[in-house]
Amino acid sequence: MTTDGSARVDSDRDGEPDDAEIARLFVELAGRQISYLAAGDPAALLAIVLVHGSGVSARYWINQLRDLREAARVVAIDLPGHGKSDPIHTASVEQYAEAVAKVLEVLGTGPVIVVGHSLGGAVAISLAARRPDRVIGLVLLSSCAKLPEVESVWGRFLPYFPGPLRKLLFFSMAQKLLFAPGVESRAVSLGMQELRSCRPETILSDLHAAKAMDLTQAATRVDAPTLIMCGSRDRLTPPELSRRLSDLIPRSRLHLVEGAGHMLLLEVPAHVSREILAFARSIAGPGTVPSLTVVLRRGRSLVRRLLRWVWRPRQRV
């Protein structure tokens, strides 16, 4: 790890995406290591930052990292205490937002489009309100400004249970709350794998941060164009919360995804990537950002060229 705030490549690929074009990098902030996944050209004019939600990590964005890398510099950050990032003493939406802002300063990204999912959407709102010079656009997936006051019996006593039992109780409800019925097993498998690999204390900290957050005033100060996406079958942050959020953010529009649940980025990844690219084009201007169709066509063309090179007839020496 560096001591001057610069990034370095980590050679340990254990548990990483099986993709050589996605790199695991680190920065050091005040003696703590913050990890992130990077894809695309670091010199690209457009930078897109992906912020994950509670109890998961940057690996949650694997589909978007692959889909968006031909169009922009893409950075998916492990929030403090998540993935391979060091924890902080007291987690909150505001502290997470400050960590993201400092990472962007170190990386020298300039103004970015921030895409946040669930708690990561709240982090994105806080960042845009606190650092408007850093954010040129927001995409908020399954997010809200404030959670309704709903107290459950297991939630009330959860802090007093041992770590393993906390995780067991959490997992018993997670799949039903997070995913819509009929979702592909691969998406559910990745989501649950991420949750199981998260530290119990991090999950608990995220639950406290989500319960304590109130971004009602912050949302009204967001001046950046904002796309809000929500699944029609989202049980954790139902569409009504997204409608309220859209009412708060002046330059926002709401896109309801029919049949999807809370985990939009895993349930309908191509649709999410397509909407992000379309939104980016609306900000950067026509012709600046290619559509997902063009991006995927480029990828298929590259694959065909590689296959032709591998299987071309070998000249005898």
Q: Mind listing the pLDDT tens digit for each residue in 115-144?
A: 999 999 999 999 999 999 999 999 999 999
State the CATH number of the domain containing residue 307. 3.40.50.1820
| Domain assignment of residue 102, given as a range | 8-311
> CA 199, CA 310: separation in Å to the nearest integer?
43
Q: Is residue 316 part of a domain?
A: no
Residue 37: pLDDT over 60: yes
Q: How confident is the model at residue 316 (pLDDT cuts 50, 70, 90)?
A: very low
Is the pLDDT reported for residue 303 higher than 70?
no
What's the confidence (pLDDT) of residue 298? Answer: 44
* pLDDT tier for residue 16 given thresholds of 50, 70 and 90: low
Reported confidence tier of residue 173, pLDDT bands at 50, 70, 90: confident
Residue 165: pLDDT band (50, 70, 90) is low
Does 2 fall in a domain?
Answer: no
Span of 47-56, 202-211, 256-265, 278-287 with lowest mean pLDDT: 278-287
- Total domains present in the chain: 1
Is 3 a member of any domain? no
Which pLDDT belongs to residue 314?
Answer: 35
Measuring CA to CA, how many Å separate 204 from each of 65, 111, 209?
Answer: 27, 32, 9
Tens-place pLDDT, residues 100-115: 999 999 999 999 999 9
Count the Cβ atoms, other than its own, within 10 Å of residue 150.
7
Are the CB atoms for 123 and 24 separated by under 8 Å?
no
Residue 88 lies in a domain: yes
pLDDT of amino acid 284: 79
pLDDT of residue 149: 77
The phi and psi torsions of 42 (rounded to 5 degrees) equal -60, -20
pTM: 0.83
**Confidence class of residue 20 from pLDDT cuts 50, 70 and 90?**
confident
* The 135-141 sheet, strands edge to edge: 8-9, 23-29, 32-39, 73-77, 47-51, 112-117, 135-141, 226-231, 252-257
CA-nearest of 64, 68, 118, 62 to 93 is 118
The whole-angstrom separation of Cα 199 and Cα 164 is 10
R_g of the chain computed on alpha carbons: 20
**Tokens (6 digits) for 78:** 């492990």
pLDDT of residue 176: 84
